[in-house]
Structure 1
Amino acid sequence: MKIVKAKNTNLENIVTIDKEMIGTDRRKEEIGEAVEQDRCLLVFDDSELAGFLIYHTSFFDCCFVSLIMIRPSFQRRGHASALLSHMTEISPTEKLFSSTNQSNDAMHKVFEASGFTKSGFIDNLDEGDPEIIYFIEKRFTN
């Protein structure tokens, strides 16, 4: 497994993964901005792109992982955990947040296994499926 910052040459493949997962390329511009601003990480399994992570620092001046997408054929192999672990190490802020729907059991397990703790929830984003906020403090490496 290898994690690198995305480059403009990766954009089409990143959007393809996102489209595979949500059925549309409506986030193409958002993904393009993240790549351009060095806020997108890629995880490769051998030489194949397995998934990506996007973050920003506009969540109360803290880092927030806003999107993690892993291709279905690569899920449950530790790629999302590896991206979160890497992000925890390189986070530009001391506090790192992310979230997932209450119904997303697989992602709850990833957050908990990665050392994140529940920090709260937001109602009314997806009707009847609250968004659960997770938090971790940056790991300092020597």
Structure 2
Amino acid sequence: MNDLTVRRATPLDADALTALDPVAGHDGGERRASIGRWCRRGSALLAETGAGPAGYCVLEYTFFEQGFVTMLMVAEPARGRGVGARLLRAAADSCRTPKLFTSANLSNHPMQRLLQRTGWQPAGLVHGLDDGDPEVFYLLPR
């Protein structure tokens, strides 16, 4: 995607991010509320093309006061086109701490492949967050 740009999302972007996130319409409003909060706090990065939003990621500092990519979501039609990698790079470039972490469910093979392709390294495994689907944590070496 040659015309892809990444910028910090604002509260005005919350509805567009909610529209591209398939979870936001089916979880009773929790994701919509999170997206609004992330946009208000300036934690969300928005990837967009001339056609509109293509994805977003959220960078927070609540994981042992280190950078943590809490969410990475790419719109269905934009998947496999480098949007996720671009968002992860933007998160790394803007991270204020020496370490940057993220995680993915063990069953989330596309996310794990993306993280491995973009240089992230496995850092641990946690059981019990989602029943029967452990969470794999990753660290981006600096």
Instruction: Give the TM-score of the pair, scaled to structure 2.
Output: 0.90
Whether the 8 Å CA contact 2:23–2:31 is kept in 1: the answer is no
Task: Say which of 58, 61, 70 aligns to 2:62.
Answer: 58
RMSD over aligned Cα atoms: 1.3
Whether the 8 Å CA contact 2:121–2:141 is kept in 1: the answer is no
Task: Say which of 45, 50, 62 aligns to 2:49.
Answer: 45
Task: Give CA-to-partner distance per residue, 1:88-116, whole Å, 9 cap, x none.
Answer: 11101110000001111110111011110
Q: Quick one: distance in 1 between partners of 2:136 and 2:116?
A: 12
Task: Give CA-to-partner distance per residue, 1:33-60, whole Å, 9 cap, x none.
Answer: 1111110000012341011101210100
User: Given residue 36 of structure 1, which amino acid in structure 2 is its aligned partner?
Assistant: R
Runs of 4+ residues over 3 Å off in structure 1: none
Unaligned residue ranges in structure 1 (runs of 5+) = none
Whether the 8 Å CA contact 1:53–1:65 is kept in 2: the answer is yes
Instruction: Give the TM-score of the pair, scaled to structure 1.
Output: 0.90
Unaligned residue ranges in structure 2 (runs of 5+) = none
| % identical equivalent positions | 26
Whether the 8 Å CA contact 1:88–1:137 is kept in 2: the answer is no
Whether the 8 Å CA contact 1:21–1:71 is kept in 2: the answer is no
Q: Quick one: distance in 1 between partners of 2:90 and 2:129?
A: 28
Task: Give CA-to-partner distance per residue, 1:52-101, whole Å, 9 cap, x none.
Answer: 10121010010110111111111111101110011111101110000001
Match of 1:94 in 2: 98
- Deviation, 1:21, is 3.9
Whether the 8 Å CA contact 1:65–1:97 is kept in 2: the answer is yes
List aligned pairs for 1:1-142, cutoff 5 A: 1-18=4-21, 20-21=22-23, 23-24=26-27, 25-138=29-142
Whether the 8 Å CA contact 2:103–2:135 is kept in 1: the answer is yes
Q: Quick one: distance in 1 between partners of 2:50 and 2:97?
A: 30
